Amino acid sequence: MKRFSMLTVLAVAWVALLVVASACGRDWEEKQADGYKLIVQPNGPTLGYTSVPILNIQGRAFKDLNRNGELDPYENWRRPAWQRADDLARRLSIEEIAGLMLYSAHQAVPSPEITDSQRKFLAEDNLRAVLVTTVASPEVAARWNNNVQAFVEALGKGIPANNSSDPRNETSATAEFNAGSGGQISLWPSPLGLAATFDADLVRQFGATASKEYRALGIATALSPQIDLATEPRWNRFNGTFGEDPDLDTDLARAYVDGFQTTPGIRTGWGAESVNAMVKHWPSGGPEEGGRDAHFNYGKYAVYPGGQFRAHLQAFIKGAFHLRGRTGSASAVMPYYTISAGIDPDGKNVGNNFSHYIITKLLRNRYGFEGVVCTDWGVTHDNAGIERFDGKCWGVETLTEAERHYEALKAGIDQFGGNNDMGPVLEAYRMWVRDFGEDAARERFEQSAVRLLLNIFRTGLFENPYVDPATTAALVGNPAFMQQGYDAQLRSVVMVKNHDKVLPQIPGQAGNDEGQARLKVYVPQRHYPAFGGRFGLFGAHPDYWAYPIERTLVEQYYDWAETPAEADFALVLIQEPYSGTGYDVKDREQGGNGYVPISLQYLPYTAEFARAKSLAGGDPKETFTNRSYKGKTVTTDNADDLNSVIVARKAMGHKPVVVVISATRPFVPAEFEPYADAILVHFGVQNKAVLDLVSGAAEPSGLLPMQLPADMRTVEEQAEDTPHDMRCHVDADGNTYDFAYGLNWQGVIRDARTRKYSKRF
Helices (H), 678-727: 687-695, 712-717
Q: What angle do CA 159, 458, 442 make, to 5 degrees?
A: 55
Dihedral, 72, 75, 79, 85 alpha carbons, nearest 10 = 90
CB-side neighbour CA atoms (13 Å) of 38: 14
Query: What's the CA gap between 497 and 737, in Å, rounded?
Result: 9
| Whether residue 87 lies in the annotated active site | no
In sequence order, which residues have a C-beta less than 8 Å from that of residue 45 and are 6 or more positions away? 77, 460, 463, 464
620 secondary structure, DSSP code: T
Whether 177 and 688 have beta carbons less than 8 Å apart is answered as: yes
The active-site residue, picked from 125, 199, 228, 245, is: 245
Helix (H, G, I), strand (E, B) or coil at 728: strand
Strand partners, 226: 280
Strand partners, 415: 374
Query: What's the CA gap between 531 and 116, in Å, rounded?
Result: 34
Query: What's the CA gap between 526 and 546, in Å, rounded?
Result: 6
| Whether residue 376 lies in the annotated active site | yes
Strand partners, 29: 40
In sequence order, which residues have a C-beta less than 8 Å from that of residue 599 and are 6 or more positions away? 577, 579, 605, 634, 636, 712
The active-site residue, picked from 376, 414, 468, 640, is: 376
Secondary structure of 165-186 in HEC code, one letter for each residue: ECCCCECCCCCCCCCCCCCCCC
Find, among 122, 185, 65, the residue nearest to 464 by Cα.
65
Q: What is the DSSP string of 453-473?
A: HHHHHHTTTTT-----HHHHH
Residues 105, 107, 113, 117, CA torsion sign: negative
Q: What are the residue numbers of the active site?
A: 245, 376
